[in-house]
Structure 1
Amino acid sequence: MNQNKISVLLVDDHEVVRAGFRMLLSAQSFIGDISEIDRGELVCHEYGRVKPDVVVMDLSMPGIGGLEAIRRLRRQEANAIVLVYSIHDESIYVERALQAGAQGYVSKNSAADVLAEAVQVVAKGSQYIEEGLLPGSHDLKRSNFDASNEITDVLSPREFDVFCRLASGMTAHEVAADLHLGYKTVANYNTTIKNKLKADTAADLAHIAVALGIIKPG
C-alpha cells in the first residue's frame, strides 16, 4: 500500500466495468494500490491478503452476491470499509446494504467523480450515501420503507435479489441468466420466497413490491 494514499479492492463480475473503475480511480492523486476480483466468494480471502483501505462492491454478481459478501466480510473483518457501487438506486437496496455493514452507497448512474469522492469520504471513517437514494431525500415515504424492512427481513440477501427481479416482471429463466444461477435454483428460491411472503403468484409478489415502494407502479 502506498503511504498516505487509499488502497482499493474492486469487486465486480464484469471485467470492462472493473477496468473503467480502475481508470477512474487511478486518475485521483489520493488513490494508491488497486486490486480487483470478480465475485463475492473471493472477498474475504483477498481482503486478508491485500488489506485494502476501501472495498468497492457491486451487488449483482454470480454466486453469493454483494449483500452476502458484505455480511461475510464484516463478520471476518469488523473494521472493513465497504462502499457499494451498484446499478440499483432503489432505497431498499441502500438500506439492505447498510444493514449488511456497508459504509457507503453510490449508484452507477451517478457522475463519475461521485465514486472518487465517496471513496475518499468513507476511507476517513464517515458514511457516504449518494444524495437522493434514501427516504427523506426521495419520494419514498418513511412508513412504507419501515414496513418494507420488516417484511423483507425474512428474506436472505440472495432471496431478496431474486424477489426484486421476479416482482419487476422477470421470468425465472431471465433471473437465472441475470444472476448466473441455475434455473432450478431460481425456481426453488421462487417457491421459498412465496412461502415466506405468503404470496401465491408472481402478481402477488409485484403487488407486495409496489405497496412497499421497492418498485414503481407500472
Structure 2
Amino acid sequence: MAIRLLLVDDHSIIRAGYRQILQKHRDISVVAEAETGQCAVNCCKEYRPDVVVLDLSIPFNNESDEVSFACGLETIRKIVALRLHTKLLVLTAMSNEPFPTQAVTAGASGYLTKHCAPEELVVAVKAVAKGEQYFSASIRNEMNPDSETNAPLVNLSKRELEVFSMLAESFPINQIAESLCLSPKTVHAHRANILRKLKLKNNAELVKMAVRYGVAVN
C-alpha cells in the first residue's frame, strides 16, 4: 500500500517540486497539500495521511500574514494532538540548533534541510512512515550536544526562541504579544533577556545573528 503524504509549505512552487520528486515512486502518493498550519490540521482530519512533510516557517492561518517557526511548531503539536498516528517530517531552511530539537520535542520524527538531495527526501519519508526517526547527517551533528557548531541560540528558552524568531522577522512588539498570548511588557522582558544571553546590543545585531543561523532571510 502506498504511503499517503501531505505536503505543507506556503510556496506552491516548492510543493510542486516536492510532489514531482515523490510521486515518481509508486509506493508514495501525495493525497493533499496545504499552505498554512490550520489547513494542514484540517487536511489531516480529512485525509488521514501517513506522513506530513512540512516547513517550519509557515503562517498558521489565512487571517494573518505572520510567518515564523513558532507557527510550524504549533502545527506539529496540533497534528500530534489529533492522535491519528501521522508521522511528521520537517523539511525547512533552518538547520541550526535549537530548531531540530524543538521540532522533535513538539512531535516530529525527522528533520531535513532544503539543501538535501531529492533521494534523501524519499528515503526520509519511507523511514518515518515505518516508525523510524530520520535526520540528515548535518542535523545529527547539530543535535549532538558536544558539537562545536551548535548555535548560541541553544541558550534561549522555548518562549525566548519564539520571540527571537519573530523579532528577527521584524514583527512589532504588540503583534508578537498578540500572537503568543503575552502582554507587551512580557515581550519586552523576553527581548531584554534575549539580548543579554546572546550578548547583542540591539535589534539590528539580532537580525544579523538570525540571518547567520538561518532563522531569517536576508
Same fold (TM > 0.5): yes
**Take 1:114 and 1:144, find their aligned partners in 2: how far apart are those partners?**
23
Asked whether the equivalents of residues 154 and 196 of structure 1 are also in contact (C-alpha less than 8 Å), the reply is no
Counterpart amino acid of residue 128 in structure 2: V
Distance 1:146 1:89, change over 3 A: closer
**For the structure 1 residues 203 and 74, does the alpha-carbon distance in structure 2 shift closer, same or farther, using more than 3 Å as the test?**
same
- Partners of 1:48 and 1:137 in 2: CA distance: 31
CA positional deviation for 1:65: 2.2
Q: Is 1:103 matched up with 2:103? A: no
In the alignment, residue 21 of structure 1 is paired with which amino acid? Y
Asked if 1:116 corresponds to 2:145, the answer is no
Count of aligned pairs: 194
Measure the CA separation in 2 of the matches of 1:208 and 1:24. 33
Once the 2 structures are TM-superposed, how far is the Cα of residue 160 of structure 1 from its aligned partner?
A: 4.7
Unpaired runs of 5+ residues, structure 2, are 61-69, 178-183
Partners of 2:93 and 2:21 lie apart in 1 by 17
Counterpart position of 1:201: 202
Q: Secondary structure at the match of 2:160?
A: coil
| Structure 2 length-normalised TM | 0.73
The Cα offsets for residues 105-132 of structure 1, whole Å up to 9 and x where unpaired, read as: 1111011111111000000000000112
Map Cα deviations across residues 70-112 of structure 1 (whole Å, 9 max, x no partner).
Answer: 0111122262210001111113211111111100011110111
SS class of match (1:10): strand
Provide the alpha-carbon RMSD of the alignment. 3.5
Alpha-carbon distance change, 204 to 14 in structure 1, aligned in 2, over 3 angstroms: closer
Q: Distance in 1 between matches of 2:99 and 2:80?
A: 18
Instruction: Look up the SS of the partner of 1:49 in the other structure.
Output: helix
Aligned twin of 2:64 = none
Work out whether 1:69 is the aligned partner of 2:75: yes
Q: Is the 8 A contact 1:152 1:160 kept in 2?
A: no
SS in 2 for 1:61: coil
Structure 2 CA distance for aligned equivalents of residues 208 and 35 of structure 1 = 36
SS of residue paired to 1:84:
strand
Larger mean CA deviation between 24-33 and 62-71 belongs to 62-71
Cα distance change of structure 1 residues 184 and 8 upon mapping to structure 2, 3 Å threshold = same
- Equivalent in the alignment of 1:162: 166
What is the 5 A alignment of 1:103-182? Answer: 103-135=109-141, 141=146, 148-149=153-154, 151-155=156-160, 158-163=162-167, 166=168, 172=170, 176=171
Q: Which residue in 2 is equivalent to 1:37?
A: 34
Conserved 8 A contact 1:194-1:201: no
**Residue pair 1:22, 1:34 contacting (<8 A) in 2 also:** no
Runs (5+) with no aligned partner, structure 1: 177-181
Distance 1:192 1:94 in 2: 26
Q: Percent identity?
A: 27
Preserved contact between residue 84 and residue 102 of structure 1 (Cα < 8 Å): yes
TM-score by length of 1: 0.73
Amino acid of the structure 1 residue aligned with 2:165: D
